[in-house]
Structure 1
Amino acid sequence: MIFLRYESFRSYLRLYPVTSAILAVNLVLFALLELMGGSTNTLNLIRFGAFIQFPGNPWGLEEPWRYVSSQFLHIGWEHLLFNCFSILVFAPPLEKLLGSAKYAVFYLLCGISGNVFSAFLNTGPGLSAGASGAIYGVFGAYLHLAVLRKYSLDEASRKTVYTILIFGVIYSIIVPGINIWAHIGGAVGGFALFGLFARKDKRRY
């Protein structure tokens, strides 16, 4: 099972520097949001870089940097903790597999993919933030491995991937306020991009 974490804190930081940095940025920005008006305050979220759509800017292209900045903001404690836990547990094997530099680019592109889907398939004005698109991109990469490179994952890890994705789809549908298109866009992006980023060898991970 590749998703069980046994590393000490210091080992985790050393082995997974990009994942550690992402977690740190998420936590620092959330703390700043809380200190400067609250993480659920709309104007505060916009000021910090949340992704926004409105009639004159339906796809968010007037401020394209928000496609990236919004990935590191979270709306409320539950949102932050759920996403950070997912990153903490599921991101390390992928960073190890791709290498830290490739993984950093992959993570950001998956988040952008989620925001692109959200921008073009959500109608009307709106605001969104969170790492979910990038996280689902990580899940999409594991789905790529589970389906197209079965030799790469042990059976327990494959079953975990399928379970997470099924639960994620159900959760995205039944819980109000979830940006399901960002989840789908991230997963599609991760599945498609992984083949371009992955090493071509056939070892198990």
Structure 2
Amino acid sequence: MIFLRYESFRSYLKLYPVTAALIALNIVYFIIVAISGDPNSAYHAYQYGAFAAHPAFDPYGLQEPWRYITSMFMHSGLEHLLYNMFSLLVFAPPMERLLKRFRYAMFYLLCGIAGNAMSAFVNVLQNDPETHIGVGASGAIYGVFGAFLYISLFRKSQLDESSRKTVYIILIFGVVYSFLVPQIDLWAHAGGALAGFLLYHIFDRIKRRKK
């Protein structure tokens, strides 16, 4: 079972420095935002870098593209933060080991960006008149899940049966949870998962060609 963590704190930092840095950045930035105001306030979140897409003036949030990244390190509350950081802590290390540090860091950021882009795209399709404000690392984390789904389906030898079942359960639970909780951005999750699935497919093909 690759998702069980047995490492000590020091070993975790040494083995998975990118994941550890991502967790630290999320926690530190949450504290900064929470100290200065209500992290669940859309206006306050916008001031600190939340992703924003105005349906008339900037439907895809491209006027301030840096928000695609800064929003990935923001959370609307302590429960939101803890859920995402637990997911990152447990499920991301095997992906960092598979992709190696630099590629994994790029993979994580691209999945988060894709999650925000998908969310904005669906809002445009739905003609939502409200400005879309989004925060959270979920898009990037679902990118990790999407990559493991690819491995579970097409590279089964890389995962034991228990790990494959865990991937399926997490994704099913994530879809159900996203529908049940109105504040959850289902399309950001879907965009991140799709990006992770496709990116890992690309990395896998490159790796096999080199061999």
Compute the TM-score of the two structures, normalised by the length of structure 1: 0.95
* Structure 1 segment 26-105 matched on structure 2, within 5 A: 26-54=26-54, 55-105=56-106
- Residue 17 of structure 2 corresponds to 17
Looking at structure 2, the residues matched to 195 and 106 of structure 1 have their Cα atoms a distance apart, in angstroms, of 12
Instruction: Give the letter for the 2:172 counterpart.
Output: I
Write the distance in 1 (CA, Å) between the matches of 2:18 and 2:5.
Answer: 16
What SS does structure 1 have at the residue aligned with 2:207?
coil
**In structure 1, what is the equivalent of residue 207 of structure 2?**
200
Map Cα deviations across residues 62-90 of structure 1 (whole Å, 9 max, x no partner): 00111111100000111000000000000
How many residue pairs end up in the alignment?
201
Instruction: Kindly provide the CA deviation profile for residues 103-158 of structure 1, in whole angstroms up to 9, marking residues without a partner as x.
Output: 00000000011011001102332211000000100000000000011111000000
What's the offset of the Cα at 1:176? 1.1
Aligned equivalents of 1:197, 1:79: Cα separation in 2: 30
1:139-150 alignment to 2 at 5 Å? 139-150=145-156
2:164 equivalent in structure 1: 158
1:200 deviates by 2.9
- Alignment RMSD (CA, Å): 1.1
Is structure 2 residue 121 aligned with structure 1 residue 120?
yes
CA distance in 2, matches of 1:197, 1:18: 18
Q: TM-score if structure 2 supplies the norm length?
A: 0.93
Structure 1: runs of 5 or more not aligned: none
Q: Distance in 2 between matches of 1:191 and 1:170?
A: 20
Query: Is the 2:120–2:132 contact (alpha carbons within 8 Å) kept by the matching residues of 1?
Result: no
Q: Which runs of 4+ in 1 moved over 4 A?
A: none
Tell me the residue number matched to 1:180. Answer: 186
Give the CA deviation at 1:44.
1.9
Deviates more, 1:130-139 or 1:50-59: 50-59
Instruction: Give the Cα–Cα distance (whole angstroms) in 1 for the partners of residues 164 and 21 of structure 2.
Output: 27
2:7 aligned counterpart, secondary structure: coil
Deviation at 1:43, TM superposition (A): 2.2
Q: CA deviation at 1:38?
A: 2.2
Q: Secondary structure at the match of 1:56?
A: coil
1:174 Cα deviation after fit: 1.1
Question: What is residue 136 of structure 1 aligned with on the other side?
Answer: 142
2:120 aligned counterpart, secondary structure: helix
Q: Is the CA contact 2:50–2:135 (under 8 Å) kept in the aligned structure 1?
A: yes
Query: Which runs of 5 or more residues in structure 2 are unaligned?
Result: none
Q: CA deviation at 1:41?
A: 2.3
Matching of residue 8 in structure 1 with residue 8 in structure 2: yes
